[in-house]
Structure formats: C-alpha cells, structure tokens
Structure 1
Amino acid sequence: MTTIPLSHHRSHGEWVFTSGQIGRDADGTVPSAFGAQMRVAIQSLRANLEAAGASLDSVVKTTVYLKRQEDFAEMNEIYATYFDQPWPARSTVVAGMVRPELSFEIDAIAYRRPS
C-alpha cells in the first residue's frame, strides 16, 4: 500500500482529532457486510483514541459517512453499542467513498483530561 499523507490521530492540548477510520481488517481486507465494516472502523477509532490518551467515552463529536442511506438504521443500532449517553454530537453524511468496496467511515474529536 502506498503511504498517504495523513496522521491517524493528532492532539492539540487536551483535544484529540482522528482521521477517518474505515472498515479494513489488519490484513488489509475489507469485509463485504456493512455491519462488519462499521465494527472494524470503530475498533480502529478506539485504538487510535487510546494511543492518544483518550477513549470512546471521551468523544464529543463524530462525523459518520455512509455510502448508502439504507444503512442508516443499522448504523444507529451499532453506533449505540459503542457510544453511551450523553451521546457525542454527530453529523451523518451520505457520500461517495474513495474506494468502491467501502461502505462506512467515521472520524471523531475527543477531549482527554489533563493528567
């Protein structure tokens, strides 16, 4: 895979910003099922947040990108298993993806408490 010019996460003070996380497994394969892609992407999001000293619980804003509007209900069901109330603020966008096999992408902004 060619290196792309981005960081998976960057921090500024107490704030952590993640790049969009996609549903690509560690071996580079992309599951065909929407739900599987979404779970892999959120697990990647979790790992990037934890590497930066944050967590899913500290997320204040997400942006979710869906390839198909028909996946919105399933996305909400799965999303609710990873995030708790008070829910992060969220924008959901139906958009084309950079690779045709991708159905889902998510990025986040989190607040990490100073140590």
Structure 2
Amino acid sequence: MANKEIIATDNAPAAIGTYSQAVKVDNTVYLSGQIPLVPSTMEMVSEDFEAQVVQVFDNLTAVTKAAGGNMNDIVKLNIFMTDLSNFATVNDVMSRYFEQPYPARAAIEVSALPKGSQVEMDGVMVL
C-alpha cells in the first residue's frame, strides 16, 4: 500500500465531509476540489464570478504551500464552471497565479457545484 501523507492547512477551507484537502504519495500531491469559501468564515467570498475564481486560486495556493510546493508545481488542473461563457475570466485570473509552462488543463461546464458556487478546481502537483 502506498505511503499516504495527509496535507491540511488552516489557510484553506476545512474539508467538509469525508475527504482531505490534499493527499501526498511519494512526490505527487492530489489536490481536492476547492470552491470559493473564505477559510476564516467558511462562507462564499462573493456572488461575483471573478472574485470566486480568485478565492479558489488563493485556496489552492494555500494547499500547495502546505504540501511544500507552489502553484507552478501543479501539472494537471481541472476547472468546473456552471457557465462556460465565463472561461475568459478564468484565463485572465489564472495568468496571475501561473508562469509558463502552464499545467495540462480541463474546463468543464457542470449543472451545479457545492454551496451554489460558480467554480471549483482540483488538480495534481508533482514536487
């Protein structure tokens, strides 16, 4: 069985349910989905889509740091949105958090996300 290390930080929203913020196996870290909850209040940051994207990236940043890396260590990013027409905003905000070479990525429109969020992201990072 793989040697699993659970990654947890108070700088990202606490896990709500039966999952961890991230799990590290060897040099690979599997990041759980982040929605735009403010860690200190566990409330949605705003109804504004761009503010939600920024909060999600801030939450992911906190978890990558807790795992011993940073956003540029993400090799695969999955983005889930309730309205794919907001994709240009995601690209704009993403450019503030990543440097080239960018991670592999998927962007998927879904009918709903937890707590009425408009965006959720998860990923895989390699340290």
User: Whose strand fraction is larger, Structure 1's or Structure 2's?
Assistant: 2
1:44-99 CA-to-partner distances (Å, cap 9, x unmatched) read 11111111112101111100001101211111111111111101000000012333
Task: Tell whether the 8 Å contact from 1:23 to 1:102 is kept in structure 2 after alignment.
Answer: yes
- Taking structure 1 as the reference length, the TM-score comes to 0.90
Q: Distance in 1 between the 2:97 and 2:125 partners?
A: 14
- Where does the alignment leave 5 or more consecutive residues of structure 1 unmatched? none
Task: Tell whether the 8 Å contact from 1:16 to 1:54 is kept in structure 2 after alignment.
Answer: no
Task: Tell whether the 8 Å contact from 2:35 to 2:117 is kept in structure 1 after alignment.
Answer: yes
Q: Which residue of 2 aligns with 1:50?
A: 65
The one of 110, 117, 122 aligned to 1:102: 117
Task: Tell whether the 8 Å contact from 1:32 to 1:101 is kept in structure 2 after alignment.
Answer: no
In the alignment, structure 1 residue 66 sits paired with structure 2 residue 88: no
Task: Tell whether the 8 Å contact from 1:23 to 1:38 is kept in structure 2 after alignment.
Answer: yes
Q: Which residue of 1 aligns with 2:20?
A: 7
> Once superposed, what is the RMSD of the aligned Cα atoms?
1.7
Q: Distance in 1 between the 2:88 and 2:122 partners?
A: 19
Percent sequence identity is 25
- Taking structure 2 as the reference length, the TM-score comes to 0.82
Q: How far is 1:36 from its partner?
A: 0.6
> How many correspondences in the alignment?
112
More contact order relative to length (CA 8 Å, sep ≥ 6): 1
Task: Tell whether the 8 Å contact from 1:57 to 1:83 is kept in structure 2 after alignment.
Answer: yes
In the alignment, structure 1 residue 29 sits paired with structure 2 residue 29: no
Q: Distance in 2 between the 1:14 and 1:95 partners?
A: 31
Change in 2 beyond 3 A, CA 1:101/1:111: same
The one of 91, 104, 107 aligned to 2:106: 91
> Runs of 4 or more off by more than 3 Å in structure 1?
none
